[in-house]
Amino acid sequence: ENLFVDFSNYYGKALMAASGQNSTGKEPTDEELLKQTLAAYDESLQTLEAEPAHAHIVPIVRKVVDIGRSGVSYPEFLRICEVEGVFLGLNSPHAKPVIEYEIYCAKLGHRPLEVKMRTEVLEMYERLVARSAFGWPDPLEYELARQKIEWAYEPEMIKWKMIEDRWDRMLSLVHDWVDSFCSFAPTDARWAGMGGANSRAVTMRNIKRTQQCNPGRLKVREKIFHDYFGLQWADIWTHPTYRNQYAARMIWYSDACLDYIKAAYDLCVPGGRPSDDLIAQAEKLYSSGAFKRADMISAEEMRPMEFAQWVQKYVSL
């Protein structure tokens, strides 16, 4: 989020503007320094308060302003802010709302490994907070620990996505192969020619290519699936990546469609052909539109609220 960077930019601009007001060339007095500093912090505070996404760092900036307005001298202002850890609070990552928002987004997106990783980051952050005398973790220590956790999870997360992509493509190869033998194939967009005088001929060539090539493509992908991940076709249905997507209603195919994909697998070999019963099932599902999962999760269900809205609950903390 780089929220402290934003604050620093606002503060720097305000401080330069405030210091420019003293054009006498004389060394500013403590009173003038306090006035200029407070003016800069106050302007920064107003800017941050106008940005809802910065709501969780407003309290620490407001505390600086309140100390400066309490009637103390400039040296005393600096001492109090240092002793009470206020300056550390300004520099420390105010990361808890951000991490919890990332967990919330990962849960909405049904990304279990990311949920696990972000939860571990949150637990680490809270340990650093508990260990700190002022409740603000050291920014460098936090950043190094966060990166260490993320780097540890990265290979597993990449592998998860690769497995998902590969079994999804294998399912589509079998699904398209069965459908290519159906009576609706010549009018289906998957095989339609680009138009023109030869459009029909191109469509039929596309259909024939699917019929002849998909079994071989499937076998090649199965070999890669096994060589890289130690998985076979039968492992798809019990693998965590599949179970996660199925439970989340993210599988595009309906249960009936999945059933005929499973049944067609043994027949999807070079030179093979789906049984008449499988073709009939596919045509029935196609005509009714039941090949697609009716309760598939919608984009709206997976869309998170904006961070600016999420962070409002931290304003009073």
List of residues 6+ apart from 152 with CB closer than 8 A = none
Statement to judge: residues 263 and 182 lie in one domain: yes
Statement to judge: residues 179 and 283 lie in one domain: yes
Statement to judge: residues 167 and 258 lie in one domain: yes
CA distances from 119 to 89, 101, 145, 217, 303 (A): 23, 11, 13, 40, 20
How far is the C-alpha of 173 from the C-alpha of 288, rounded, in Å?
A: 22
**For the chain, which ranges sit under pLDDT 70?**
1-26, 195-198, 314-317
- Predicted TM-score (pTM) of the model is 0.79
Tell me which H or E stretch contains 173: helix 139-179
Statement to judge: residues 178 and 140 lie in one domain: no
DSSP code at position 147: H
**pLDDT per residue as tens digits for the range 159-194:** 999 999 999 999 999 999 999 999 999 999 999 877
Statement to judge: residues 191 and 280 lie in one domain: yes
Number of Cα atoms under 13 Å in the Cβ half of residue 117:
20
Statement to judge: residues 133 and 64 lie in one domain: no
Domain extent, residue 11, equals 3-19+28-91
Statement to judge: residues 82 and 41 lie in one domain: yes
End residue of a domain, out of 91, 114, 140: 91
Query: What per-residue confidence (pLDDT) applies to 110?
Result: 96
Statement to judge: residues 166 and 291 lie in one domain: yes
Helices (H), ranges, 28-131? 30-49, 58-68, 74-83, 86-91, 96-108, 112-131
Please tell me the total count of domains within the chain: 3
Statement to judge: residues 185 and 219 lie in one domain: yes
Query: What per-residue confidence (pLDDT) applies to 164?
Result: 97
Statement to judge: residues 162 and 277 lie in one domain: yes
Query: What per-residue confidence (pLDDT) applies to 224?
Result: 97
Statement to judge: residues 268 and 138 lie in one domain: no
**Do the Cβ atoms of 54 and 48 come closer than 8 Å?**
yes
**Do the Cβ atoms of 27 and 53 come closer than 8 Å?**
no
Give the residue carrying structure tokens 């987004």: 105
Alpha carbon dihedral 49, 52, 54, 57, in 10-degree steps, equals 60
Q: What sign for the dihedral angle of Cα 204, 165, 222, 289?
A: negative
Alpha carbon dihedral 157, 249, 184, 207, in 10-degree steps, equals 10
**pLDDT per residue as tens digits for the range 6-26:** 544 444 444 555 555 555 556
How far is the C-alpha of 265 from the C-alpha of 170, rounded, in Å?
A: 10
